[in-house]
Amino acid sequence: MLSIAVELVIGFVSLLLITKLLGKMTLVQITPFDFISALVLGDLLGNAIYDEDTGPFMIIFTVGVWGALIYISEWLTQKFRGTRLFLEGKPSIIIYDGRLDRNEMKKNKLDINQLQNLLRQKNTFSVREVAYAFLETDGTVSVLKKPEYAPPTLSNLRIHEKPPCISLTFISDGEVDWETINSAGFDENWLNETLHKHHIKNYKDVFYFEWKKDEGAFIEKM
């Protein structure tokens, strides 16, 4: 019993240190990969504790190695933008301009009943209320409602309705998303002119560049 108690304490402290090292983002924005990693970590720790041939050193070694692998994957996504798509995935637009994108739903193994369930969790009880819906990497749905259904409703305020607009990310961490820029109808000359208006000489000096059709550019420098 004393041996098990010592191993449990060591395992508890090890997990606490790993959690502090990885930070809060793994709890708030957990991805399927993070979820599986946490399950494997718990299983490794449980097997190590109750294995009679395993000592305290092996517990620390097991938790340390797996925790280091998780930390390295998180560090790669922070340091190298190109790894984020592979390790974290990217959101999918499953409702675009009020229309269901069935191809994206099939790609993400999402049926209409599951979608309705996710929408209800966002206080949206009908697909017709949705202008745009994004399936996030953690499995949740972000919803932009049509103007007539958004609180407070424009019909109640008697304000002329404007079509909803989504925000597009053109630059993130100094890297330009040319595909998004081109799909929005812009090119490199437009980007350079816009940055020049904000007294920015190079796009590498931009931490975040967001574009919205009805509001224009929102830029944060490095």
Residue 124 included in any domain: yes
Domain identity same for 48 and 105: no
Q: What is the pLDDT of residue 86?
A: 61
Q: What is the 3-state secondary structure (H, E, C) of the chain?
A: CHHHHHHHHHHHHHHHHHHHHHCCHHHHCCCHHHHHHHHHHHHHHHHHHHCCCCCHHHHHHHHHHHHHHHHHHHHHHHHCCHHHHHHCCCCEEEEECCEECHHHHHHCCCCHHHHHHHHHCCCCCCHHHEEEEEECCCCCEEEEECHHHCCCCHHHHCCCCCCCCCCEEEEECCEECHHHHHHCCCCHHHHHHHHHHCCCCCHHHEEEEEEECCCEEEEEEC
Domain identity same for 82 and 107: no
Q: What is the pLDDT of residue 157?
A: 64
pTM of this structure = 0.55
Q: What is the pLDDT of residue 123?
A: 87
Residue 64 included in any domain: yes
Give the range of the structural domain holding residue 194, as residue numbers without chain letter: 168-221
Domain with 186 in it: what CATH number?
Answer: 3.30.240.20
Domain identity same for 73 and 104: no
Domain identity same for 177 and 211: yes
Q: What is the pLDDT of residue 20?
A: 65
Q: Please, what are the averages of pLDDT over each run of 10 residues along the chain (222 residues)? A: 68 68 54 66 68 69 75 74 66 88 87 87 86 86 86 65 76 85 87 86 83 81 76
Q: What is the pLDDT of residue 134?
A: 92
